[in-house]
Structure 1
Amino acid sequence: MESIFDPWPWYISGPLIAIVMFLLILMGKKFGMSSNLETMCAMCGAGRQSDYFRFDWKANRWNLIVIIGAAIGGFAGAHVLSHDTSVNINPETIENLNELGFSSAGEAYLPDRLYGNEALTDPFAISILLIGGLLIGFGARYAAGCTSGHAISGLSNLQLPSLVAVTGFFIGGLLMVHLLFPLIF
């Protein structure tokens, strides 16, 4: 029973994700977190303002449950199933992040500098989170899906646009970490 408290290795979690994707393909469903935003907009009546949101949102209700499950699972994983919240990353990375002012590097998944309670009063941290959120939202919409939708669902369906999008996500991530992140912080 103790093994449930440890991070699951790829050879357990990977096949479980593959089974879920296989079942979704068999049922003719597509998975993606950002598609839930479209569904929520349609639920709230955005179809009265834009034809884009004029669709039967009730057919996508099942995917809204995925968001609820992800939130509950994330909470349970962080507060119930995790004894050790330290992050096993390269010591050089921890040193580099400490030099940039991220003193919690290696101790937690989310840096206190951006996600701690004191960040709510820091205009720089708030602006970073707002700008980052807008860019992620724009990117997900422009790419016709988010990272989970393209990397998990799109690649499972062998879609070339998803391969292009995932390649772009990786290139963008590398540019951010190695070029922009040190400049911003």
Structure 2
Amino acid sequence: MDWIYEPWPWYVAGPFIAAIMFLLLFGGKNFGMSSNLRTMCSIGGAGKKADFFAFDWKAQRWNLMVVVGAVIGGFIAANFLSKDPAVDINPETVSTLEGLGFQSAGKAYLPDELFATGAFTDPKALAILLIGGLLIGFGARYAGGCTSGHAISGLSNLQLPSLIAVIGFFIGGLVMIHFLFPLIF
């Protein structure tokens, strides 16, 4: 049973994703995580202030269960199905990240320099988290969905806007990691 503690290869995980997508398409549903933010705002009463949030959120309950399942599944995987919290990444990447001040590179999924409780007292780390969160939220809304919605659901539906969005996400990621990340850190 040691295989359960290891990352699953693409030829196992991929068909699972394809099966879930088939079931969603068959049921007339679209997969996406960022749409849940709109649903949660609607539940909180934002529909009284902005028409964008005025919709029947109860029709999206199934998608909220996807988020709950992702959180529960992540907790179970991290706490019960992971022997080693280290991330197996390229040694060159580890040395580059260590040179930028990330001493926890390759040792944990989330770098302590950004995600430890000390980040809330460090103005630079706090600014990065807040500005990054706003940009991700705005970008997901502006693109009409997040990376998972466009790349998994949109591409499987052969939607041209999703292809354009995924290409934009990829280019943005390359610009971030090769140009902006070294400037910020």
Does TM-score exceed 0.5, indicating one fold?
yes
Secondary structure at the aligned position of 1:25 is classed as helix
Q: In structure 2, give the amino acid aligned to 1:94.
A: V
Provide the C-alpha distance between the structure 1 equivalents of 2:103 and 2:45, rounded to a whole number of angstroms. 45
1:120 Cα deviation (Å)?
2.1
Provide the C-alpha distance between the structure 1 equivalents of 2:31 and 2:98, rounded to a whole number of angstroms. 37
1:109 Cα deviation (Å)?
1.4
The answer for the alignment partner of 1:71 in structure 2 is 71
1:151 counterpart = 2:151: yes
Provide the C-alpha distance between the structure 2 equivalents of 1:52 and 1:126, rounded to a whole number of angstroms. 29
Provide the C-alpha distance between the structure 2 equivalents of 1:16 and 1:94, rounded to a whole number of angstroms. 31
Q: In structure 1, give the amino acid aligned to 2:11.
A: Y
Provide the C-alpha distance between the structure 2 equivalents of 1:128 and 1:55, rounded to a whole number of angstroms. 33
Provide the C-alpha distance between the structure 1 equivalents of 2:182 and 2:135, rounded to a whole number of angstroms. 18
TM-score (norm 1): 0.97
Provide the C-alpha distance between the structure 1 equivalents of 2:134 and 2:54, rounded to a whole number of angstroms. 24
TM-score (norm 2): 0.97
Q: In structure 1, give the amino acid aligned to 2:150.
A: H
| 1:1-185 matched pairs, under 5 angstroms | 1-185=1-185
1:42 Cα deviation (Å)?
1.5
1:184 Cα deviation (Å)?
0.4
Unaligned runs of 5+ in 1: none
Provide the C-alpha distance between the structure 1 equivalents of 2:124 and 2:48, rounded to a whole number of angstroms. 37
Q: Alpha carbon RMSD of aligned pairs, Å?
A: 0.9
Secondary structure at the aligned position of 1:32 is classed as coil
Give identity over the alignment, percent: 69
1:61 Cα deviation (Å)?
0.3
